[in-house]
Amino acid sequence: MFDAHRAALRAVFKLPRPTKRETAAFAALYVLQASCCVLFLEWFYKATGWPGMIWAIISSVLALQPGMSQSFVTAVLRIMANTVGASVAFVIGSWLGTGQWQLLLAIAIVVASCEVLHIDLALRTACVAVVIVLTESNGLLRTSSLERFGAVICGCLTALVIQAITDLIREEMFRRWSPAPEDIATQAAEMGKQPSRASPK
């Protein structure tokens, strides 16, 4: 009865999956990238005095992906989602207020907007942005929406820069440490020249 649910759970957690050197290396790399993002954003926001540091850190950690192309797509989706969510929340809050039915109306408009813009993958992020702006604004809608939007952009850009730097370092290390193609060909030729040993009877 629950075979489909168990299969879905295994797919989510990639079970069974032994811990290999490659998976451990990716985990260590993610820890390094996330730590760099957190440290830089903490320093930057404390130095500038800008608000929204926590949202920038959250956006940077969520934007980090195994590859640069994946990080770029994730960052673009988060920026688009927060643009839609914060804009709708600002307009609804300014014109109609920040009550419960206004929040539900804003979420409905955001869902329709994401459908029209074909950014379904960013739907949940956009709805979260609406909830945050309308419930945490304390009467300062413009400040809350701009703070959220600016923090997301800052966090995503930081993640992309850190991702690009670590990818360049990783490629350079792989290029230096991996054997050259001619060396591999030479080793293969030498192994082919070695006489095969007959197995004892």
DSSP letter assigned to residue 120: G
Asked whether 84 and 117 are in contact (CB, 8 A), the reply is yes
Residues 127-182: tens digit of each pLDDT: 988 888 888 666 566 667 788 888 888 999 999 999 888 888 877 777 776 655 55
pLDDT for position 37: 94
